[in-house]
Amino acid sequence: MKTILSLVFATLFASLLFTGCKKGDPNATFQVSFFTSKANGPLSLYVDGTYKGVLPYFAQTPACGNPNTDGQLPITMVLKSGKYTIEGKDSLGRITSSGTIKISSCTMGTFGNLGGQSLSNTGDCVIVGLFE
């Protein structure tokens, strides 16, 4: 009986090991696009404390690489797998949206501190929205 249980346990463990999500490629790169759904005033984007530009307004989450109705494109950059601190600052320099995004080939997510963030992806295209 012990042998059968051991065999069943070993088989179950092996199947979980090979079908579960791996850690992911730490050198994987992603095309990450940022936008805001905040219509009333500019929102500046900071990634890991570095200014990246003023976020364009989109009424809805844009498709990867698509412009808004005014022809503006989201702020797009290539980021490697990892965690990044993101902040949106209003015209007075006040942080109105902040959080952390985690991107990898295995898992993606956003963890907000202030305001709101959204994250969606299709393959190596990641779209991040910031709002109040």
The total of other beta-carbon atoms located within 10 Å of residue 23's CB is 10
Cβ atoms 81, 68 nearer than 8 A? no
User: How far is residue 128's CA from residue 132's CA, in Å, rounded to a whole number?
Assistant: 14
Domain ranges of the chain: 24-131
Between 10 and 74, residue with greater pLDDT: 74
Element (DSSP H or E) covering residue 47: strand 44-47
Cβ atoms 23, 75 nearer than 8 A? no
* Letter string b/e over residues 67-81, b meaning 16 or more CB atoms within 10 A of that residue's CB: eeeeeeebbbeebeb
State pLDDT tens for residues 32-63.
999 998 888 899 999 999 999 999 999 888 88
User: How far is residue 73's CA from residue 89's CA, in Å, rounded to a whole number?
Assistant: 19
State pLDDT tens for residues 83-124.
999 999 999 999 999 999 999 988 888 888 899 899 999 888
Between 33 and 22, residue with greater pLDDT: 33
- Cα 83–chain centre separation: 9
The hierarchical CATH code for the domain 24-131 is 2.60.270
